[in-house]
Structure 1
Amino acid sequence: MKLLQRYLHNPAACFGLLVLLAVIAMAASAPLLFPADPLSLAGRPLQWPLEDPRFWLGTDQTGRDIAAQIFHGARVSLLIGFVATLIAVCIGILIGAFAGYYGGWADNLLMRLTEGFQTLPSFLLLLVPVSVFGSGIATVTLAIGAVSWPATARLTRAEFLTLRNRDFVHSCRSLGMRDLQIIFREILPNALPPVVVYASVVMALAILLESALAFLNLSDPNVASWGNLIGGGRGVLRSQWYVSAIPGIAILLTVLAVSLVGQGLNDALNPRLKRP
Protein backbone atom coordinates (compact mmCIF):
# COMPACT_ATOMS: atom_id res chain seq x y z
CA MET A 1 0.00 0.00 0.00
CA LYS A 2 2.81 2.43 0.88
CA LEU A 3 4.51 1.53 -2.40
CA LEU A 4 1.34 2.40 -4.31
CA GLN A 5 0.94 5.67 -2.41
CA ARG A 6 4.53 6.71 -3.15
CA TYR A 7 4.03 5.83 -6.80
CA LEU A 8 0.77 7.79 -7.09
CA HIS A 9 2.43 10.86 -5.58
CA ASN A 10 4.73 11.01 -8.61
CA PRO A 11 2.90 12.96 -11.38
CA ALA A 12 5.30 11.87 -14.13
CA ALA A 13 4.94 8.21 -13.15
CA CYS A 14 1.14 8.51 -13.10
CA PHE A 15 1.20 10.09 -16.56
CA GLY A 16 3.39 7.27 -17.85
CA LEU A 17 1.07 4.67 -16.34
CA LEU A 18 -1.99 6.28 -17.94
CA VAL A 19 -0.32 6.38 -21.36
CA LEU A 20 0.84 2.77 -21.02
CA LEU A 21 -2.66 1.66 -20.01
CA ALA A 22 -4.03 3.49 -23.04
CA VAL A 23 -1.61 1.62 -25.33
CA ILE A 24 -2.58 -1.68 -23.70
CA ALA A 25 -6.26 -0.78 -24.21
CA MET A 26 -5.53 -0.08 -27.89
CA ALA A 27 -3.87 -3.47 -28.26
CA ALA A 28 -6.73 -5.27 -26.50
CA SER A 29 -9.46 -3.52 -28.48
CA ALA A 30 -7.79 -3.84 -31.90
CA PRO A 31 -9.67 -7.02 -32.98
CA LEU A 32 -12.98 -5.47 -31.88
CA LEU A 33 -12.58 -2.04 -33.47
CA PHE A 34 -10.75 -3.26 -36.57
CA PRO A 35 -11.72 -6.91 -37.16
CA ALA A 36 -10.49 -6.94 -40.77
CA ASP A 37 -6.89 -7.50 -41.78
CA PRO A 38 -5.09 -4.20 -41.03
CA LEU A 39 -2.87 -4.74 -44.08
CA SER A 40 -5.79 -5.11 -46.49
CA LEU A 41 -6.70 -2.32 -48.91
CA ALA A 42 -9.40 -0.15 -47.37
CA GLY A 43 -9.77 2.96 -49.52
CA ARG A 44 -8.13 5.54 -51.74
CA PRO A 45 -4.40 5.92 -51.03
CA LEU A 46 -2.95 8.89 -49.12
CA GLN A 47 -6.10 10.33 -47.61
CA TRP A 48 -5.31 12.84 -44.88
CA PRO A 49 -6.63 12.30 -41.35
CA LEU A 50 -10.35 13.16 -41.02
CA GLU A 51 -10.66 13.60 -44.79
CA ASP A 52 -12.89 10.52 -44.81
CA PRO A 53 -14.89 9.70 -41.63
CA ARG A 54 -14.12 6.02 -42.13
CA PHE A 55 -10.38 6.64 -41.83
CA TRP A 56 -9.91 9.10 -38.98
CA LEU A 57 -6.11 8.76 -39.17
CA GLY A 58 -6.07 8.64 -42.95
CA THR A 59 -4.67 6.00 -45.29
CA ASP A 60 -1.13 5.16 -46.33
CA GLN A 61 0.42 5.06 -49.78
CA THR A 62 -1.28 1.74 -50.64
CA GLY A 63 -4.71 2.62 -49.27
CA ARG A 64 -4.51 0.80 -45.93
CA ASP A 65 -6.19 2.23 -42.85
CA ILE A 66 -3.54 3.87 -40.64
CA ALA A 67 -5.72 3.67 -37.51
CA ALA A 68 -6.09 -0.09 -37.94
CA GLN A 69 -2.32 -0.45 -38.30
CA ILE A 70 -1.71 1.72 -35.22
CA PHE A 71 -4.05 -0.34 -33.05
CA HIS A 72 -2.80 -3.71 -34.30
CA GLY A 73 0.78 -2.41 -34.21
CA ALA A 74 0.37 -1.75 -30.50
CA ARG A 75 -0.15 -5.49 -30.00
CA VAL A 76 3.02 -6.28 -31.95
CA SER A 77 5.16 -3.71 -30.12
CA LEU A 78 3.96 -4.72 -26.64
CA LEU A 79 4.31 -8.43 -27.37
CA ILE A 80 7.83 -8.07 -28.75
CA GLY A 81 8.82 -5.72 -25.95
CA PHE A 82 7.51 -7.99 -23.19
CA VAL A 83 8.86 -11.30 -24.55
CA ALA A 84 12.25 -9.85 -25.53
CA THR A 85 12.54 -8.25 -22.08
CA LEU A 86 11.71 -11.55 -20.40
CA ILE A 87 14.40 -13.32 -22.43
CA ALA A 88 17.00 -10.61 -21.78
CA VAL A 89 16.26 -10.47 -18.04
CA CYS A 90 16.42 -14.26 -17.65
CA ILE A 91 19.78 -14.46 -19.46
CA GLY A 92 21.15 -11.47 -17.57
CA ILE A 93 20.05 -12.81 -14.18
CA LEU A 94 21.62 -16.21 -14.80
CA ILE A 95 24.97 -14.80 -15.93
CA GLY A 96 25.07 -12.03 -13.34
CA ALA A 97 24.01 -14.31 -10.48
CA PHE A 98 26.69 -16.92 -11.11
CA ALA A 99 29.37 -14.29 -11.75
CA GLY A 100 28.54 -12.36 -8.60
CA TYR A 101 28.08 -15.36 -6.33
CA TYR A 102 31.13 -17.42 -7.27
CA GLY A 103 33.56 -14.64 -8.21
CA GLY A 104 37.09 -15.67 -9.23
CA TRP A 105 37.57 -17.28 -12.62
CA ALA A 106 33.82 -17.68 -13.17
CA ASP A 107 33.32 -13.96 -12.65
CA ASN A 108 36.21 -13.10 -14.98
CA LEU A 109 34.99 -15.44 -17.71
CA LEU A 110 31.36 -14.32 -17.59
CA MET A 111 32.24 -10.63 -17.38
CA ARG A 112 34.63 -10.91 -20.34
CA LEU A 113 31.74 -12.49 -22.27
CA THR A 114 29.47 -9.64 -21.20
CA GLU A 115 32.03 -7.01 -22.18
CA GLY A 116 32.44 -8.74 -25.53
CA PHE A 117 28.74 -8.25 -26.22
CA GLN A 118 28.95 -4.62 -25.12
CA THR A 119 31.84 -3.71 -27.43
CA LEU A 120 29.45 -3.54 -30.37
CA PRO A 121 26.16 -1.61 -30.48
CA SER A 122 23.11 -3.78 -29.86
CA PHE A 123 21.66 -2.94 -33.26
CA LEU A 124 24.73 -4.20 -35.13
CA LEU A 125 24.64 -7.45 -33.17
CA LEU A 126 20.93 -7.73 -33.91
CA LEU A 127 21.53 -7.59 -37.65
CA VAL A 128 23.51 -10.85 -37.58
CA PRO A 129 20.79 -13.32 -36.44
CA VAL A 130 18.13 -11.47 -38.42
CA SER A 131 20.23 -11.72 -41.58
CA VAL A 132 20.99 -15.41 -41.01
CA PHE A 133 17.69 -16.76 -39.69
CA GLY A 134 15.19 -14.43 -41.35
CA SER A 135 12.95 -11.59 -40.29
CA GLY A 136 9.99 -13.39 -38.75
CA ILE A 137 8.48 -11.98 -35.59
CA ALA A 138 9.69 -14.94 -33.50
CA THR A 139 13.24 -14.58 -34.83
CA VAL A 140 13.27 -10.82 -34.27
CA THR A 141 11.94 -11.19 -30.73
CA LEU A 142 14.49 -13.86 -29.79
CA ALA A 143 17.30 -11.85 -31.38
CA ILE A 144 16.38 -8.66 -29.49
CA GLY A 145 16.29 -10.58 -26.22
CA ALA A 146 19.61 -12.26 -27.00
CA VAL A 147 21.45 -8.94 -27.49
CA SER A 148 19.82 -6.95 -24.67
CA TRP A 149 20.99 -8.87 -21.59
CA PRO A 150 24.50 -7.45 -20.77
CA ALA A 151 23.33 -4.46 -18.70
CA THR A 152 20.98 -6.69 -16.69
CA ALA A 153 23.84 -9.13 -16.07
CA ARG A 154 26.11 -6.38 -14.74
CA LEU A 155 23.36 -5.02 -12.49
CA THR A 156 22.58 -8.49 -11.11
CA ARG A 157 26.28 -9.18 -10.53
CA ALA A 158 26.63 -5.95 -8.57
CA GLU A 159 23.68 -6.89 -6.34
CA PHE A 160 25.08 -10.38 -5.73
CA LEU A 161 28.51 -9.02 -4.86
CA THR A 162 26.82 -6.89 -2.21
CA LEU A 163 24.61 -9.65 -0.81
CA ARG A 164 26.78 -12.76 -0.97
CA ASN A 165 28.67 -11.95 2.26
CA ARG A 166 25.61 -10.99 4.32
CA ASP A 167 24.84 -12.86 7.54
CA PHE A 168 21.78 -14.63 6.13
CA VAL A 169 23.93 -16.14 3.36
CA HIS A 170 26.49 -17.42 5.86
CA SER A 171 23.64 -18.89 7.88
CA CYS A 172 22.37 -20.71 4.81
CA ARG A 173 25.82 -22.16 4.17
CA SER A 174 26.14 -23.28 7.79
CA LEU A 175 22.81 -25.08 7.43
CA GLY A 176 24.20 -27.04 4.50
CA MET A 177 22.13 -25.46 1.76
CA ARG A 178 23.38 -25.98 -1.78
CA ASP A 179 24.71 -23.13 -3.86
CA LEU A 180 21.77 -23.17 -6.28
CA GLN A 181 19.33 -22.99 -3.37
CA ILE A 182 21.18 -20.04 -1.88
CA ILE A 183 21.37 -18.26 -5.25
CA PHE A 184 17.77 -18.64 -6.36
CA ARG A 185 15.87 -18.95 -3.08
CA GLU A 186 17.76 -16.60 -0.76
CA ILE A 187 19.87 -14.03 -2.65
CA LEU A 188 17.92 -13.55 -5.89
CA PRO A 189 14.65 -12.34 -4.25
CA ASN A 190 16.66 -9.63 -2.48
CA ALA A 191 18.46 -8.68 -5.68
CA LEU A 192 15.38 -8.51 -7.92
CA PRO A 193 13.90 -5.02 -7.20
CA PRO A 194 16.51 -3.00 -9.14
CA VAL A 195 16.47 -5.61 -11.92
CA VAL A 196 12.69 -5.38 -12.23
CA VAL A 197 12.93 -1.60 -12.42
CA TYR A 198 15.64 -1.79 -15.09
CA ALA A 199 13.43 -4.16 -17.11
CA SER A 200 11.43 -1.10 -18.17
CA VAL A 201 14.55 0.26 -19.86
CA VAL A 202 15.07 -3.05 -21.65
CA MET A 203 11.45 -3.07 -22.82
CA ALA A 204 11.71 0.46 -24.19
CA LEU A 205 14.93 -0.48 -25.99
CA ALA A 206 13.29 -3.62 -27.42
CA ILE A 207 10.42 -1.58 -28.88
CA LEU A 208 12.89 0.85 -30.46
CA LEU A 209 15.04 -1.95 -31.89
CA GLU A 210 12.05 -3.66 -33.51
CA SER A 211 10.89 -0.36 -34.96
CA ALA A 212 14.37 0.31 -36.35
CA LEU A 213 14.46 -3.12 -38.00
CA ALA A 214 11.01 -2.61 -39.50
CA PHE A 215 12.00 0.84 -40.75
CA LEU A 216 14.89 -0.79 -42.65
CA ASN A 217 12.56 -3.53 -44.00
CA LEU A 218 14.33 -6.14 -41.86
CA SER A 219 11.26 -7.13 -39.84
CA ASP A 220 8.28 -9.21 -40.91
CA PRO A 221 6.51 -7.26 -43.68
CA ASN A 222 3.34 -9.34 -43.23
CA VAL A 223 2.70 -7.94 -39.76
CA ALA A 224 1.20 -4.55 -38.99
CA SER A 225 3.86 -2.74 -36.97
CA TRP A 226 4.63 0.89 -36.29
CA GLY A 227 8.11 0.54 -37.77
CA ASN A 228 6.75 -0.90 -41.03
CA LEU A 229 4.33 2.00 -41.28
CA ILE A 230 7.11 4.56 -40.74
CA GLY A 231 9.32 2.81 -43.28
CA GLY A 232 6.51 2.72 -45.84
CA GLY A 233 5.94 6.45 -45.45
CA ARG A 234 9.51 7.44 -46.30
CA GLY A 235 8.71 7.86 -49.97
CA VAL A 236 5.95 10.40 -49.30
CA LEU A 237 7.52 12.12 -46.31
CA ARG A 238 7.59 15.58 -47.90
CA SER A 239 3.99 15.66 -49.09
CA GLN A 240 2.14 13.24 -46.77
CA TRP A 241 4.28 13.44 -43.64
CA TYR A 242 1.47 12.15 -41.42
CA VAL A 243 2.01 8.57 -42.67
CA SER A 244 5.33 8.43 -40.81
CA ALA A 245 4.56 11.01 -38.12
CA ILE A 246 1.56 9.20 -36.57
CA PRO A 247 3.34 5.89 -35.84
CA GLY A 248 6.43 7.86 -34.82
CA ILE A 249 4.39 9.66 -32.17
CA ALA A 250 2.95 6.32 -31.04
CA ILE A 251 6.45 4.90 -30.57
CA LEU A 252 7.61 8.03 -28.76
CA LEU A 253 4.70 8.01 -26.32
CA THR A 254 4.98 4.28 -25.64
CA VAL A 255 8.71 4.37 -24.97
CA LEU A 256 8.28 7.49 -22.82
CA ALA A 257 5.47 5.82 -20.86
CA VAL A 258 7.50 2.67 -20.19
CA SER A 259 10.47 4.76 -19.06
CA LEU A 260 8.34 6.91 -16.75
CA VAL A 261 6.73 3.84 -15.20
CA GLY A 262 10.16 2.33 -14.56
CA GLN A 263 11.44 5.57 -13.04
CA GLY A 264 8.33 5.80 -10.89
CA LEU A 265 8.85 2.28 -9.60
CA ASN A 266 12.46 3.11 -8.82
CA ASP A 267 11.46 6.19 -6.83
CA ALA A 268 8.73 4.25 -5.00
CA LEU A 269 11.07 1.39 -4.10
CA ASN A 270 13.91 3.72 -3.12
CA PRO A 271 12.29 6.79 -1.51
CA ARG A 272 15.62 7.92 -0.05
CA LEU A 273 16.99 8.29 -3.56
CA LYS A 274 14.09 10.44 -4.73
CA ARG A 275 15.21 13.57 -6.54
CA PRO A 276 14.47 16.96 -4.96
Structure 2
Amino acid sequence: MTLLSSDTVPAKEPARFLVFWRRFKRSRTALLGLILFILVVLMALTAGLVEPDDPLRRAGDPLTPPFQNWLTPLGTDQLGRDILAGIFHGARISLMIGVVATLLSIGIGVVIGALSGYFGGWIDDVLMRITEAFQTVPNFVLLLTLVAILGSSIEYIILAIGIVSWTAPARMVRAEFMSLRGREFVDAARNLGVSNSAIIFKEILPNALPPIIVYASVIMALSILLESALAFLGLGDPNYASWGNMIGQGRSVLRTAAYCAVIPGLAIVFTVLSFSLLGEGLNDALNPRQKKQ
Protein backbone atom coordinates (compact mmCIF):
# COMPACT_ATOMS: atom_id res chain seq x y z
CA MET A 1 0.00 0.00 0.00
CA THR A 2 1.48 3.32 -1.06
CA LEU A 3 0.82 6.35 1.09
CA LEU A 4 0.37 9.68 -0.59
CA SER A 5 0.97 12.95 1.17
CA SER A 6 -1.62 15.68 0.78
CA ASP A 7 0.36 17.45 -1.97
CA THR A 8 0.79 14.39 -4.20
CA VAL A 9 -2.83 13.47 -4.90
CA PRO A 10 -3.14 12.29 -8.54
CA ALA A 11 -6.24 14.43 -9.17
CA LYS A 12 -4.20 17.54 -8.52
CA GLU A 13 -1.40 16.73 -10.98
CA PRO A 14 -2.72 18.93 -13.87
CA ALA A 15 -3.21 21.86 -11.49
CA ARG A 16 0.28 21.38 -10.07
CA PHE A 17 1.74 21.40 -13.58
CA LEU A 18 -0.03 24.68 -14.36
CA VAL A 19 1.33 26.22 -11.16
CA PHE A 20 4.81 24.96 -12.09
CA TRP A 21 4.52 26.44 -15.60
CA ARG A 22 3.37 29.82 -14.26
CA ARG A 23 6.38 29.97 -11.96
CA PHE A 24 8.75 28.81 -14.70
CA LYS A 25 7.65 31.28 -17.36
CA ARG A 26 8.05 34.24 -14.99
CA SER A 27 11.79 33.99 -15.60
CA ARG A 28 12.86 35.34 -18.99
CA THR A 29 16.21 33.61 -18.69
CA ALA A 30 14.47 30.28 -18.10
CA LEU A 31 12.35 30.80 -21.23
CA LEU A 32 15.50 31.69 -23.17
CA GLY A 33 17.09 28.45 -21.95
CA LEU A 34 13.99 26.51 -23.01
CA ILE A 35 14.07 28.10 -26.49
CA LEU A 36 17.77 27.29 -26.93
CA PHE A 37 17.17 23.71 -25.76
CA ILE A 38 14.28 23.29 -28.20
CA LEU A 39 16.52 24.56 -31.01
CA VAL A 40 19.18 21.98 -30.15
CA VAL A 41 16.56 19.23 -30.09
CA LEU A 42 15.21 20.36 -33.47
CA MET A 43 18.74 20.30 -34.87
CA ALA A 44 19.17 16.74 -33.66
CA LEU A 45 15.81 15.66 -35.10
CA THR A 46 16.42 17.26 -38.51
CA ALA A 47 20.07 16.23 -38.88
CA GLY A 48 19.07 13.56 -41.40
CA LEU A 49 17.52 16.21 -43.63
CA VAL A 50 20.71 18.29 -43.69
CA GLU A 51 22.96 15.30 -44.39
CA PRO A 52 21.08 12.01 -44.89
CA ASP A 53 24.14 9.91 -45.72
CA ASP A 54 27.34 10.55 -43.79
CA PRO A 55 28.27 13.85 -42.08
CA LEU A 56 31.93 12.81 -42.26
CA ARG A 57 31.98 12.52 -46.06
CA ARG A 58 33.60 15.12 -48.29
CA ALA A 59 31.03 17.73 -49.34
CA GLY A 60 33.17 20.28 -51.19
CA ASP A 61 36.58 21.86 -51.53
CA PRO A 62 38.64 21.99 -48.32
CA LEU A 63 38.49 25.15 -46.20
CA THR A 64 35.65 26.83 -48.05
CA PRO A 65 34.72 29.90 -45.94
CA PRO A 66 31.16 30.31 -44.63
CA PHE A 67 28.50 31.84 -46.91
CA GLN A 68 30.54 31.20 -50.07
CA ASN A 69 28.63 28.14 -51.33
CA TRP A 70 24.91 27.56 -50.70
CA LEU A 71 25.53 23.79 -50.60
CA THR A 72 27.81 24.31 -47.58
CA PRO A 73 26.53 27.55 -45.99
CA LEU A 74 28.82 27.31 -42.93
CA GLY A 75 31.83 26.30 -44.97
CA THR A 76 33.96 23.16 -44.97
CA ASP A 77 36.87 21.97 -42.84
CA GLN A 78 40.35 21.01 -43.96
CA LEU A 79 39.06 17.67 -45.29
CA GLY A 80 36.16 19.23 -47.19
CA ARG A 81 33.46 18.07 -44.75
CA ASP A 82 30.33 20.18 -44.35
CA ILE A 83 30.45 22.08 -41.06
CA LEU A 84 26.67 22.60 -41.00
CA ALA A 85 26.13 18.84 -41.25
CA GLY A 86 28.63 18.32 -38.44
CA ILE A 87 26.81 20.85 -36.25
CA PHE A 88 23.42 19.20 -36.77
CA HIS A 89 24.69 15.63 -36.32
CA GLY A 90 26.85 16.77 -33.42
CA ALA A 91 23.66 17.88 -31.67
CA ARG A 92 22.50 14.26 -31.73
CA ILE A 93 25.75 13.06 -30.18
CA SER A 94 25.77 15.77 -27.52
CA LEU A 95 22.16 15.16 -26.49
CA MET A 96 22.69 11.40 -26.43
CA ILE A 97 25.79 11.75 -24.27
CA GLY A 98 24.12 14.28 -21.99
CA VAL A 99 20.92 12.28 -21.47
CA VAL A 100 22.42 8.79 -21.11
CA ALA A 101 25.35 9.88 -18.92
CA THR A 102 22.98 11.91 -16.72
CA LEU A 103 20.59 8.99 -16.29
CA LEU A 104 23.51 6.72 -15.41
CA SER A 105 25.05 9.10 -12.88
CA ILE A 106 21.68 9.99 -11.33
CA GLY A 107 20.79 6.29 -11.11
CA ILE A 108 24.02 5.42 -9.29
CA GLY A 109 23.73 8.49 -7.08
CA VAL A 110 20.11 7.81 -6.14
CA VAL A 111 20.78 4.20 -5.14
CA ILE A 112 23.86 5.00 -3.07
CA GLY A 113 22.44 8.19 -1.55
CA ALA A 114 19.09 6.57 -0.74
CA LEU A 115 20.65 3.57 1.00
CA SER A 116 23.09 5.77 2.89
CA GLY A 117 20.53 8.34 3.99
CA TYR A 118 17.76 5.89 4.86
CA PHE A 119 19.65 3.24 6.82
CA GLY A 120 22.47 5.35 8.29
CA GLY A 121 24.92 3.60 10.64
CA TRP A 122 27.65 1.45 9.18
CA ILE A 123 25.98 1.40 5.75
CA ASP A 124 26.19 5.19 5.64
CA ASP A 125 29.83 5.10 6.76
CA VAL A 126 30.89 2.57 4.11
CA LEU A 127 29.04 4.23 1.23
CA MET A 128 30.24 7.72 2.16
CA ARG A 129 33.84 6.53 2.40
CA ILE A 130 33.50 5.11 -1.12
CA THR A 131 32.02 8.42 -2.27
CA GLU A 132 34.86 10.37 -0.68
CA ALA A 133 37.40 8.07 -2.35
CA PHE A 134 35.96 8.98 -5.76
CA GLN A 135 35.93 12.67 -4.86
CA THR A 136 39.62 12.71 -3.94
CA VAL A 137 40.50 12.30 -7.63
CA PRO A 138 39.59 15.20 -9.95
CA ASN A 139 36.76 14.26 -12.31
CA PHE A 140 38.68 14.86 -15.51
CA VAL A 141 41.74 12.96 -14.34
CA LEU A 142 39.55 9.98 -13.42
CA LEU A 143 37.76 10.29 -16.76
CA LEU A 144 41.05 10.22 -18.66
CA THR A 145 42.09 7.12 -16.72
CA LEU A 146 38.84 5.30 -17.42
CA VAL A 147 38.92 6.16 -21.13
CA ALA A 148 42.55 5.01 -21.34
CA ILE A 149 41.55 1.67 -19.75
CA LEU A 150 38.18 1.07 -21.42
CA GLY A 151 38.78 2.68 -24.80
CA SER A 152 37.52 5.75 -26.63
CA SER A 153 34.35 4.37 -28.21
CA ILE A 154 31.24 6.45 -27.63
CA GLU A 155 29.71 3.78 -25.36
CA TYR A 156 32.73 3.70 -23.05
CA ILE A 157 32.94 7.50 -23.00
CA ILE A 158 29.32 7.72 -21.83
CA LEU A 159 29.95 5.04 -19.21
CA ALA A 160 33.07 6.81 -17.97
CA ILE A 161 31.26 10.18 -17.71
CA GLY A 162 28.47 8.56 -15.73
CA ILE A 163 30.96 6.95 -13.35
CA VAL A 164 32.78 10.21 -12.59
CA SER A 165 29.57 12.25 -12.13
CA TRP A 166 27.56 10.30 -9.53
CA THR A 167 29.13 11.57 -6.30
CA ALA A 168 27.35 14.94 -6.11
CA PRO A 169 23.87 13.44 -6.75
CA ALA A 170 24.61 10.76 -4.13
CA ARG A 171 25.37 13.35 -1.46
CA MET A 172 22.32 15.39 -2.45
CA VAL A 173 20.00 12.36 -2.25
CA ARG A 174 21.54 11.32 1.08
CA ALA A 175 20.82 14.73 2.57
CA GLU A 176 17.22 14.65 1.33
CA PHE A 177 16.64 11.14 2.71
CA MET A 178 18.12 12.04 6.09
CA SER A 179 15.68 14.96 6.37
CA LEU A 180 12.66 12.95 5.20
CA ARG A 181 13.13 9.55 6.86
CA GLY A 182 11.71 10.82 10.17
CA ARG A 183 8.57 12.39 8.66
CA GLU A 184 5.07 11.26 9.66
CA PHE A 185 4.20 9.60 6.35
CA VAL A 186 7.34 7.44 6.59
CA ASP A 187 6.49 6.38 10.16
CA ALA A 188 2.94 5.57 9.03
CA ALA A 189 4.28 3.38 6.23
CA ARG A 190 6.52 1.49 8.64
CA ASN A 191 3.61 0.93 11.03
CA LEU A 192 1.58 -0.54 8.18
CA GLY A 193 4.35 -3.03 7.45
CA VAL A 194 5.55 -1.50 4.18
CA SER A 195 8.94 -2.90 3.14
CA ASN A 196 12.06 -0.75 3.27
CA SER A 197 12.45 -0.86 -0.52
CA ALA A 198 8.88 0.38 -1.00
CA ILE A 199 9.40 3.17 1.53
CA ILE A 200 12.63 4.24 -0.17
CA PHE A 201 11.45 4.24 -3.78
CA LYS A 202 7.70 4.89 -3.45
CA GLU A 203 7.42 7.10 -0.39
CA ILE A 204 10.61 9.09 0.18
CA LEU A 205 12.17 9.28 -3.29
CA PRO A 206 9.22 11.09 -5.00
CA ASN A 207 9.45 13.79 -2.31
CA ALA A 208 13.23 14.08 -2.80
CA LEU A 209 13.10 14.45 -6.59
CA PRO A 210 12.89 18.27 -7.09
CA PRO A 211 16.55 19.06 -6.27
CA ILE A 212 17.65 15.98 -8.21
CA ILE A 213 15.75 17.13 -11.31
CA VAL A 214 17.33 20.56 -11.05
CA TYR A 215 20.83 19.13 -10.67
CA ALA A 216 20.30 16.84 -13.67
CA SER A 217 20.59 19.91 -15.92
CA VAL A 218 24.02 20.59 -14.42
CA ILE A 219 25.17 17.04 -15.11
CA MET A 220 23.93 17.20 -18.71
CA ALA A 221 25.93 20.36 -19.33
CA LEU A 222 28.98 18.88 -17.61
CA SER A 223 28.70 15.67 -19.65
CA ILE A 224 28.76 17.61 -22.93
CA LEU A 225 31.78 19.61 -21.78
CA LEU A 226 33.65 16.49 -20.65
CA GLU A 227 33.07 14.72 -23.97
CA SER A 228 34.16 17.84 -25.84
CA ALA A 229 37.32 18.06 -23.75
CA LEU A 230 38.13 14.41 -24.48
CA ALA A 231 37.57 14.91 -28.19
CA PHE A 232 39.67 18.08 -28.15
CA LEU A 233 42.54 16.01 -26.75
CA GLY A 234 42.09 13.42 -29.48
CA LEU A 235 40.41 10.86 -27.20
CA GLY A 236 36.94 11.08 -28.71
CA ASP A 237 35.31 8.51 -30.96
CA PRO A 238 36.43 9.40 -34.53
CA ASN A 239 33.52 7.44 -36.01
CA TYR A 240 31.00 10.09 -34.96
CA ALA A 241 30.62 13.75 -35.87
CA SER A 242 30.80 15.52 -32.52
CA TRP A 243 31.39 19.16 -31.70
CA GLY A 244 34.46 18.28 -29.65
CA ASN A 245 35.99 16.39 -32.57
CA MET A 246 35.33 19.36 -34.84
CA ILE A 247 37.08 21.74 -32.44
CA GLY A 248 40.01 19.37 -31.98
CA GLN A 249 40.49 18.97 -35.70
CA GLY A 250 40.11 22.71 -36.24
CA ARG A 251 43.14 23.48 -34.05
CA SER A 252 45.52 22.80 -36.92
CA VAL A 253 43.94 25.57 -39.04
CA LEU A 254 43.02 27.94 -36.22
CA ARG A 255 45.05 30.85 -37.63
CA THR A 256 43.91 30.52 -41.22
CA ALA A 257 40.35 29.15 -40.84
CA ALA A 258 39.22 29.89 -37.30
CA TYR A 259 35.58 29.22 -38.17
CA CYS A 260 36.32 25.47 -38.19
CA ALA A 261 36.72 25.61 -34.41
CA VAL A 262 34.67 28.71 -33.55
CA ILE A 263 31.35 27.50 -35.00
CA PRO A 264 31.22 24.17 -33.09
CA GLY A 265 32.55 26.02 -30.04
CA LEU A 266 29.58 28.38 -30.18
CA ALA A 267 27.25 25.39 -30.50
CA ILE A 268 28.68 23.98 -27.26
CA VAL A 269 28.42 27.35 -25.52
CA PHE A 270 24.75 27.85 -26.40
CA THR A 271 23.84 24.26 -25.52
CA VAL A 272 25.52 24.41 -22.13
CA LEU A 273 23.96 27.83 -21.57
CA SER A 274 20.52 26.39 -22.30
CA PHE A 275 20.96 23.72 -19.63
CA SER A 276 22.24 26.28 -17.14
CA LEU A 277 19.28 28.61 -17.70
CA LEU A 278 16.85 25.70 -17.61
CA GLY A 279 18.31 24.57 -14.31
CA GLU A 280 17.82 28.02 -12.80
CA GLY A 281 14.24 28.14 -14.05
CA LEU A 282 13.48 24.68 -12.69
CA ASN A 283 14.96 25.61 -9.33
CA ASP A 284 12.83 28.78 -9.14
CA ALA A 285 9.70 26.86 -10.13
CA LEU A 286 10.23 23.85 -7.87
CA ASN A 287 11.64 25.77 -4.89
CA PRO A 288 9.77 29.11 -4.81
CA ARG A 289 10.42 29.58 -1.08
CA GLN A 290 14.18 29.39 -1.63
CA LYS A 291 13.94 32.19 -4.23
CA LYS A 292 12.03 34.42 -1.80
CA GLN A 293 14.71 33.93 0.85
Q: Same fold (TM over 0.5)?
A: yes
Kindly state the Cα deviation for residue 119 of structure 1 after the two structures are TM-superposed: 1.1
Which amino acid in 1 is paired with 2:150?
F
Could you state the TM-score of these two structures normalised by the residue count of structure 1? Answer: 0.98
Give, in whole Å, the separation in 2 of the partners of 1:25 and 1:62: 27
- Structure 2 counterpart of 1:94: 111
The residue aligned with 1:15 is 32
1:39 corresponds in structure 2 to 56
Provide the C-alpha distance between the structure 2 equivalents of 1:190 and 1:160, rounded to a whole number of angstroms: 9
2:78 aligned with 1:78: no
The Cα shift of 1:129 comes to 2.0
**1:263 aligns to 2:280 (yes or no):** yes
Q: TM-score, normalised by structure 2?
A: 0.92
1:200 aligned partner, one-letter code = S
The match for 2:3 is none
What secondary structure is seen at the aligned counterpart in 1 of 2:255?
coil
Q: CA RMSD in A?
A: 1.0
Residue 226 (structure 1) aligned to one of 243, 259, 268: 243
* Cα distance in 2 for residues equivalent to 1:181 and 1:26: 41
Aligned residues: 276
Aligned-residue identity in percent? 58
How far apart, CA to CA, are the structure 1 residues paired with 2:53 and 2:203? 50
Correspondences of 1:1-276 after superposition (within 5 Å): 1-274=18-291
Tell me, in whole angstroms, the C-alpha distance in 1 between the residues paired with 2:69 and 2:107.
47
Unaligned runs of 5+ in 1: none
What's the offset of the Cα at 1:275?
6.2
After superposing on structure 2, the runs of 4+ consecutive aligned residues of structure 1 that deviate more than 2 Å are none
Quote the offset at 1:178 in angstroms.
1.4
Q: How far apart are 1:54 and its partner, in Å?
A: 1.3
CA distance in 2, matches of 1:241, 1:258: 26
Aligned-partner Cα distance in 2 for 1:147–1:132: 14
